[in-house]
Amino acid sequence: MSFISDIYAYLFYFATLVLLGGVAFKILQYARTPAPLKIPTTPAPTTRVGVALRMTREVVLFESLFRGNKWTWIFSWMFHFGLLLVTLRHLRYFIDPVPVPIQMIQPFGIYGGMAMIVGLAGLWTRRFFVDRVRYISSRSDHLILGLLIAIGLTGLMMRFVVHTDIIRVKEFFAGLYQFEVFVLPADPVLLLHLLLVALLMIIFPYSKLLHAPGLFFSPTRNQVDNPREQRHIAPWAKRLEQE
């Protein structure tokens, strides 16, 4: 079975590279692109601290979405919060020794997994039943939802139906840190789960999943409302003045 283990090892190296490299590239690109005009959506905070608070509310509570659509808010908050718990739970497969908070979060991670699936299912249902949302959905929007649900379901299956040898999975990933390939248990559900996760990592920097870093660079949200007090001018606009 080491053939499959090799393939998965390379797959995860590749996926990690694409994910980190791709996202880093995008973040750099966003950071380097100037924002020539002050365009915060007002009323906006007039201080940096205020902006940090506004962004925190957006990231943690999805404040704007809450004002925009309650159903979408409920489902996507469930999904994202569930995903957070699941991710925290999974940390124990990647670090040793496992920190106490991560140990404590384990049972909640399971609920997180369920919340994730319910949230995703809700979002997907909207794509079929709300005519406006159906109109704007492209095939990739459906596929990403399908992918995430499949990841969640295969994950939960391993918890409740066909268990896998966690110790060896952990060994496999620990091995990757040292560029050593240990044998991965050849359970189909595990392999499918990992394959889908790798796929998600690979498409991340090329898909709408970019909304994650994008949020932090959104000028309507991250700018301080002080244009009268402070002159705000982009390098390319400054050059116009020298002409």
List binders of other proteins among 152-211 (CB under 8 A).
203, 206-208, 210-211
**Interaction pattern, residues 71-90, with other proteins; x per rule: CB under 8 A:** -x---x--------------
Q: Is 46 in the site for other proteins (CB under 8 A)?
A: yes
Q: Is 44 in the site for other proteins (CB under 8 A)?
A: yes
Nearest-angstrom CA–CA distance, 191 and 241 = 60
Rank residues 130 and 192 by Cβ distance to other proteins and give the closer one: 130
Q: Is 225 in the site for other proteins (CB under 8 A)?
A: yes
List binders of other proteins among 125-144 (CB under 8 A).
126, 130-133, 135-141, 143
Q: How many residues bind other proteins (CB under 8 A)?
A: 64
* Cα dihedral sign, 151-154-156-159: negative
Asked if 16 contacts 195 with a C-beta cutoff of 8 angstroms, the reply is no
Contacts of 142 (CB under 8 A, 6+ apart): 124, 127
Asked if 187 contacts 155 with a C-beta cutoff of 8 angstroms, the reply is no
Rank residues 23 and 174 by Cβ distance to other proteins and give the closer one: 23
**Interaction pattern, residues 86-125, with other proteins; x per rule: CB under 8 A:** -------------------------------------x--
Based on the number of CB atoms within 10 Å of its own CB, is 123 exposed (0-12), middle (13-18) or buried (19 or more)? buried
The DSSP 8-state label assigned to residue 130 in this structure reads S
Asked if 2 contacts 183 with a C-beta cutoff of 8 angstroms, the reply is yes
Neighbours of 207 (CB within 10 A): 14
Nearest-angstrom CA–CA distance, 103 and 89 = 8
Q: By CB under 8 A, name the one of 20, 39, 53, 167 that touches other proteins.
A: 39
Rank residues 24 and 162 by Cβ distance to other proteins and give the closer one: 24
The helix/strand/coil state of 93 is: helix
**Cis status of the peptide bond prior to 45, with omega within 30 of 0:** no
Interacting stretch for other proteins, rule CB under 8 A, among 27-35, 102-110, 149-157, 160-168?
A: 27-35
Asked if 27 contacts 33 with a C-beta cutoff of 8 angstroms, the reply is no
Rank residues 98 and 130 by Cβ distance to other proteins and give the closer one: 130
Q: What is the nearest approach in angstroms of other proteins to the Cβ of residue 236?
A: 6
Q: Which residues bind other proteins (CB under 8 A)?
A: 26, 29-30, 33-39, 41-46, 50, 58, 62, 64-65, 67-69, 72, 76, 123, 126, 130-133, 135-141, 143, 203, 206-208, 210-211, 214-215, 217-221, 225, 227-228, 230-234, 236-237, 240
